[in-house]
Amino acid sequence: MSQADESAQQVTGQALKDGLAREFPGLTARGLNPNAAAAVALKIYYRKVKPAVDLKQLQEISVEARRSQQWQSALTVIQDLFCSPETLAVSFMPPCAAAEVPRPLDRALVEQVFTSLSAVQGDVLTAMHSLVHHALVSWPADEDEPPDQHYQALLLRAISIILLNPWIDDDQTGRRLLVKLMALVGSWPPLLRQRLVSECAEWSSGEMQQLIIAVEQHLTITYFENDNSIDAATHQAVKFLAIISEANDQSKAVSYSNFYLDILNSEDFDVKRDYVNWKRPGLLTDSDFSFCQYPFVYDPATKSDILAFENTGEMREQFHHAIFDSFIRGGACPYLVLRVRRSPYLVNDTLLQIQNASANNTLKRPLKVHFIGEQGVDEGGVQKEFFQLLMRDMFDPDYGMFKLDEDTRMYWFRASKIDMSMEFELVGTMIGLAIYNSHLLEFSFPMLTYRKLMGHKPTLGDLMDVHPTIHRSLQKLLTQDNVAQLGLVFQVEQEADFGEGLETIDLEAEGANMPVTDDNKQRYVDLYVRHLLETSIQRQFDAFQRGFKRLCGGPALKLFRPEELEKLICGGQNLDFLALEQHTRYDDGFTAHSQAVEWFWSVVHGLQPEQQKQLLFFVTGSDRVPIKGLASLTPPFTISRAGPHSDRLPTAHTCFNHLLLPDYQDLQSLQKLLLLSIQNSEGFGLM
């Protein structure tokens, strides 16, 4: 090497050192760790990326441009800001003396900057689209060779900023940007996508809702543009929506119902075909995937349809097997027939027959119930009464299985040393049997029950619905100082069996000798919660869950959230009698415009909610609202003319959701006799 070459190399090396020294301190002051700062400084020196943009200066330039309508200077800075993920990310990391690593994204600053650039929205969208496009095409195709971690971290921040832009759901340009963003995120490794989940979990409800709307609008447009067919782009969008849904599960920024897709929960969508695709053996391709893989898009009503497909298929198979067996062996009944006596024998009779049915593998046959010594054909109404009476007996506090909390009015498993596993298993089985045969049940469990059935681990927050008083005490304990002064030890008290007062339980071995202090109070609370919600009722809940999964262990039930599972079992709360009126049928001379019918509905709409529930019980045998609402009653609600005006009370065929209403000639008679009927509708009468 010549002396001139050596001199040139020394000059170049010195220039590199000077360049790095110039950029490095500013980058570390913005919160980059030394390795990341060095990597970005090197790219700045070689002009692969621009230095950080002064956002305050950009906003000042934008104000002046808006005043003068001369935007060229501002557009130049905008191009610099969005020239690369590194520049964009670092620009939104203002210098700070005590740099926090990693520093949270200042979303308020993001909003300020985008607001200042609203006059050139199209130019900003184009610049962001270019950034995302180049990031996508430069992303390595080989998953085994992803970009370095420093670049990934800055890319994540840059994409988070772009996702927060207020125009992402605006026009065609915003949609094109969103498509590129979803493609880029879809190419990321799982760990980076998970970091995006954590980033989005910090968003406000407004920020979350804006992105959800944008993605759902894109999905709807794409679906209709493709003639109601599903392609790889649709799958990509749903996978992206899954990231936002997971983030929302962590933050609870918006209701999970915001993720329900209207186009998939309408009558026009072939949900049965989607279910069949889901059940196919082997892997689904992008062009033949199932939305059942992403259950957050389905509402409870659609999920109940999917569960019905699964249950109906199993029931039909069991029925056909029974018919076949009857030809071969003779005498076999294709139904699950429960012949029971009323209380006090109802629980024992049911328990014995369910055990026999389980042993003979006949639980999944269509259900028929017969009360011994009573006439009547079970066409649905007898089953309704059977479930009501059985659950009432089993939840009776005197039976000793469940305890009613006076504050919440909800039932929880009673901690007991008495082995009632068979009885708890029966409760679980009967709940499963009710779901399997499309019946709603009348009891109130805390949400934790459904969370545990779906495999969730109890937390201190769950205690609020089970034991609110204890929950408040434990919360207060965690925020208190000098807890040793309270004299607590690692023990708890609970009710003993047979009314023998209280018994003391150790939370730790030798718990009586372990005082609760500021250092171990968190462990005390954790063990207390575990005792109340797990260990003390473990045998009872395991038996309950075992019975439930006898009939509800299939994949369709896993589509439900705990909140949706509660609605499936117990029905909803929306007493929409206007919807019921719109879907009511009329018979035997009545029409929607008959005077008595119009009076009937005017009375119904004026009832208090509790009275409306009584009416619902009177005509259907249950005061619970089906998961699809009152408009979906099966059979449809029907009002028939039951003769001319008289002083006879209205009557009902609950198995057919059929009201028999005399043709009353004055409003007062109708109102008086209808209220008298619904207030005295306890029990069941077959006509």
* pLDDT tens profile 669-687: 999 999 999 988 654 333 3
pTM to 2 decimals? 0.86
* pLDDT tens profile 107-126: 999 999 999 999 999 999 99
> What is the per-residue pLDDT for 282?
61
Task: Output the average pLDDT for the chain.
Answer: 89
Q: Per mean pLDDT, which of 48-52, 484-488, 653-657 is the most reliable?
A: 484-488
* pLDDT tens profile 300-330: 999 999 998 888 877 777 766 667 666 666 5
Q: With bands split at pLDDT 50, 70 and 90, how would you rate the model's confidence at 430?
A: very high
Asked if 524 and 455 count as a contact pair (C-beta separation under 8 A), the reply is no
**Residue 426: which of 550, 342, 337 has the closest Cα?**
550
Q: What residue ranges define each of the domains in the chain, with the CATH number in brackets?
A: 46-192 (no CATH), 307-453 (3.90.1750.10), 577-679 (3.30.2410.10)
Q: With bands split at pLDDT 50, 70 and 90, how would you rate the model's confidence at 42?
A: confident
Radius of gyration of the chain (CA): 33
**Residue whose pair of structure tokens reads 């918006």 in the numeric block:** 254
> Tokens at residue 184, please?
């880029």
Instruction: Supply the residues annotated as catalytic.
Output: 655
Torsion angle (degrees, nearest 10) of CA 10, 12, 16, 19: 120
The mean pLDDT value for 75-90 works out to 94
- Residues above pLDDT 70, as percent of the chain: 91
Q: Is the pLDDT of residue 592 over 60?
A: yes
403: phi then psi, degrees, rounded to nearest 5: -120, 130
Burial of 476 (0-12, 13-18, 19+ CB in 10 A): exposed
Asked if 435 and 552 count as a contact pair (C-beta separation under 8 A), the reply is yes
> What is the per-residue pLDDT for 232?
82
Q: With bands split at pLDDT 50, 70 and 90, how would you rate the model's confidence at 13?
A: low
Asked if 517 and 536 count as a contact pair (C-beta separation under 8 A), the reply is no
- Which residues, listed in sequence order, are joined to residue 492 by a DSSP beta bridge? 505
From CA 165, how far away is CA 671, in angstroms rounded?
A: 58
CB-CB neighbours of 48 under 10 Å: 12
Please provide the distance, in angstroms rounded to a whole number, between the alpha carbons at the two ends of the chain: 111
- Which residues, listed in sequence order, are joined to residue 369 by a DSSP beta bridge? 338
Q: Number of helices (H) and strands (E), helices first, in the chain?
A: 27, 10
* pLDDT tens profile 436-450: 888 889 889 999 999
> What is the per-residue pLDDT for 28?
83
> What is the per-residue pLDDT for 4?
44
> Tokens at residue 505, please?
């339980």
Q: Is the pLDDT of residue 374 over 90?
A: no
From CA 184, how far away is CA 163, in angstroms rounded?
A: 12
Q: Is the pLDDT of residue 157 over 70?
A: yes
* pLDDT tens profile 492-520: 998 877 677 789 999 999 999 999 999 99
> Tokens at residue 171, please?
């026009």
- Which residues, listed in sequence order, are joined to residue 503 by a DSSP beta bridge? 494
Asked if 86 and 134 count as a contact pair (C-beta separation under 8 A), the reply is no
> What is the per-residue pLDDT for 26?
77
Torsion angle (degrees, nearest 10) of CA 436, 437, 441, 444: 10
> What is the per-residue pLDDT for 584?
97
